[in-house]
Amino acid sequence: MRWWNSLCVLAMLAPPAAAEPLRPYVVEGDAITRSLTGRPGDAENGRRLVMDRHRSLCILCHAAPLPDPHLQGTLAPTLAGAGSRLSEGQIRLRVVDMKRLVPDSIMPAYYRTGGLAQVAASFRDRPILTAEEIEDVVAFLVTLKE
Amino acid sequence: MTGRAPRLLAGLLAACLAGSSAPAGDMLDKRSGADFMSPENRAMQADDMSNPGMFAVLDGEELWNRPEGANGRSCAGCHGEAATSMRGVATRYPAFDERSGRPIDLAGRIGECRRTRQEASPLPHESPELIALTAYVAHQSRGMPISPPQDERLAQFRENGRRLYERRIGQLDLSCASCHDARWGERLGGSVMPQGHPTAYPLYRLEWQAVGSLQRRLRNCMIGVRAEAFAFGAPELIELELYLMERAAGLTVETPGVRP
């Protein structure tokens, strides 16, 4: 299975995240310490999301302690040990908008809708992941201890 | 199918001869997408008997010889043997088109001949007939180095192609350069990232189970980053091709290629 290829088709079929207004958040240093939803995420669902190349795309770029390592990308550092290297708040900011820290990063901002060009109609004005999904992903990454 | 086997053998020989070429231009270690393929897929491309793209080439040869349109002339009626008249043509497309004052790609050029010289109905983008004719004409340049024309009139269009190549687009906010310049050889999921050279089009793609054009490939990459893809035939796609061909200068034409 070649995921980049299938992605081309699935990008059109994937159910887009609900178009709700983005929730405000506060960046402190290199972290967003408060949950976007005000509640903790569901790590089990976060694991499913990180594994889902079509929804989250994480393992197109990252390796992670998950099945099928030969289908994981080599474009980014491994997510293994992310929970030891980074605090929950630091992880949250990196998933929400990596470009605040690394302006020319290739990692997409998962919770942003502005500043983009030529977005396909079905993805326009929607973040890649919803606030709930971001919290689930964060909750999972926090469990990745070395 | 008498006559096919010898031609296929001749093609195979050409493919073997085409195997090596010295990269040119400013990109260090310039490499065809074929270099990043599995040995199985490379073997499939190299052997005309197993390369599915050869069916398009053979269909194209038939169309080349078939009278068409109000004029009743075949391509061969005006151009004679493609092996002579079309040799090297694909290495210098897109070229400047006097009529439109813009660059035109090889498929567009063929479409123009069909429309204005044969006075036949236009062939739609990606139609099997247009793909076959384009594959047949491009195949006559197999093994020859890509040599973009040094035509000043193309400069502004090529420059626009470069801008499009470097521009971040789509919900994933990535440019062609983000992937193909900076990160070739790395893995994106299960796919190895090629340098993105248009050396082998039209080509057979296993993912498509069909022979398709460069424009189809470029649209796939755009859809992959969740961008609105330029329509088939859009000037932007031709400008991108113009830049890609310049970037690929010196690599050899492989048409018909095979890709995963």
| A-proximal residues of B, 200-239, CB under 8 Å | 207, 220-221, 223-224, 226-229
pTM: 0.92
- Given a contact cutoff of 8 angstroms between Cβ atoms, the answer to whether B31 and B256 are in contact is no
| Residue B158 and residue B40 share a domain | yes
pLDDT digits (tens, 9 = 90+) for B240-256: 999 999 999 999 999 99
A51 contact B CB<8A: no
Q: Looking at CA atoms only, how far is residue A131 from chain B in angstroms?
A: 17
| Residue B132 and residue B164 share a domain | no
| Residue B41 and residue B168 share a domain | yes
Query: In this complex, which of B183, B191, B226 lies closest to A11 when CB atoms are compared?
Result: B226
Contact A12 B169 (CB under 8 A): no
For the cut 50, the answer to whether the pLDDT of residue B18 exceeds it is no
A59 contact B CB<8A: yes
| Residue B70 and residue B8 share a domain | no
How high is the pLDDT of residue B226? 98
pLDDT digits (tens, 9 = 90+) for A40-95: 999 999 999 999 999 999 999 999 999 999 999 999 999 999 999 999 999 999 99
Contact B187 A73 (CB under 8 A): yes
Q: Region B74-97: what's the mean pLDDT?
A: 98
Q: Tell me, yes or no, whether A63 lies in a domain.
A: yes
For the cut 70, the answer to whether the pLDDT of residue A97 exceeds it is yes
Of B139, B166, B188, the domain-final residue: B139
* ipTM entry: 0.91
| Single-letter code of the amino acid located at B172 | L
B38 contact A CB<8A: no
> Structure tokens of B56?
């398009």
Give the SS3 label for residue B46: helix
How high is the pLDDT of residue A114? 94
Counting the structural domains of chain A, the total is: 1
Q: Tell me, yes or no, whether A27 lies in a domain.
A: yes
- Given a contact cutoff of 8 angstroms between Cβ atoms, the answer to whether A74 and A45 are in contact is no
Q: Looking at CA atoms only, how far is residue A117 from chain B in angstroms?
A: 5
- Given a contact cutoff of 8 angstroms between Cβ atoms, the answer to whether A105 and A47 are in contact is no
Counting the structural domains of chain B, the total is: 2
| Residue B123 and residue B216 share a domain | no
Contact A59 B190 (CB under 8 A): no
A10 contact B CB<8A: no
| Residue B190 and residue B237 share a domain | yes
Query: Which residues of B belong to the annotated binding site for heme c?
Result: 75, 78-79, 113, 176, 179-180, 221
- Given a contact cutoff of 8 angstroms between Cβ atoms, the answer to whether B78 and B72 are in contact is no
* Domain harbouring B62, CATH code: 1.10.760.10
| Residue B158 and residue B190 share a domain | yes
By residue range, what is the domain housing residue B86?
53-139
SS3 assignment for chain A: CCHHHHHHHHHHHCCCCCCCCCCCCCCECCECCCCCCCCCCCHHHHHHHHHCCCCCCHHHHCCCCCCCHHHCCCCCCCCCCHHHHCCHHHHHHHHHHHHHCCCCCCCCCCCCCCCCCCECHHHCCCCCCCHHHHHHHHHHHHCCCC
By residue range, what is the domain housing residue A133?
3-141
Q: Tell me, yes or no, whether A44 lies in a domain.
A: yes
Of B85, B113, B139, the domain-final residue: B139
Query: In this complex, which of A3, A109, A116 lies closest to B191 when CB atoms are compared?
Result: A3
Q: Tell me, yes or no, whether B68 lies in a domain.
A: yes
Of B139, B158, B193, the domain-final residue: B139
Instruction: State CA A93 to chain mean position distance.
Output: 10
Residue carrying structure tokens 């022979």? B211
Of A13-27, B32-46, B139-153, the least confident: A13-27
For B14, the enclosing helix (H) or strand (E) is: helix B4-17
Query: Which residues of B belong to the annotated binding site for substrate?
Result: 217
B39 contact A CB<8A: no
A57 contact B CB<8A: yes
| Residue B226 and residue B156 share a domain | yes
- Given a contact cutoff of 8 angstroms between Cβ atoms, the answer to whether A51 and A66 are in contact is yes
| Residue B154 and residue B251 share a domain | yes
Residues of chain A with Cβ-Cβ distance to B170 below 8 Å are 116-120, 123
DSSP symbol at B199: -
Contact B224 A11 (CB under 8 A): yes
Q: Tell me, yes or no, whether B145 lies in a domain.
A: no
Q: Tell me, yes or no, whether A146 lies in a domain.
A: no
Q: pLDDT band at residue A125, thresholds of 50, 70 and 90?
A: very high
Contact B227 A128 (CB under 8 A): no
| Residue B184 and residue B69 share a domain | no
Q: Region B227-233: what's the mean pLDDT?
A: 98
Q: Tell me, yes or no, whether A72 lies in a domain.
A: yes
| Residue B130 and residue B8 share a domain | no
- Given a contact cutoff of 8 angstroms between Cβ atoms, the answer to whether B32 and B254 are in contact is yes
Q: Tell me, yes or no, whether B230 lies in a domain.
A: yes
Measured CA to CA, the distance from residue B244 to residue B162 in angstroms comes to: 8
| Residue B160 and residue B232 share a domain | yes
Q: How many CB atoms lie within 10 A of CB A12?
A: 13
Measured CA to CA, the distance from residue A28 to residue A25 in angstroms comes to: 10
Q: Tell me, yes or no, whether A101 lies in a domain.
A: yes
Q: Region B191-216: what's the mean pLDDT?
A: 98
* Domain harbouring A43, CATH code: 1.10.760.10
Catalytic residue among B221, B232, B233, B260: B221
Give the SS3 label for residue B253: coil
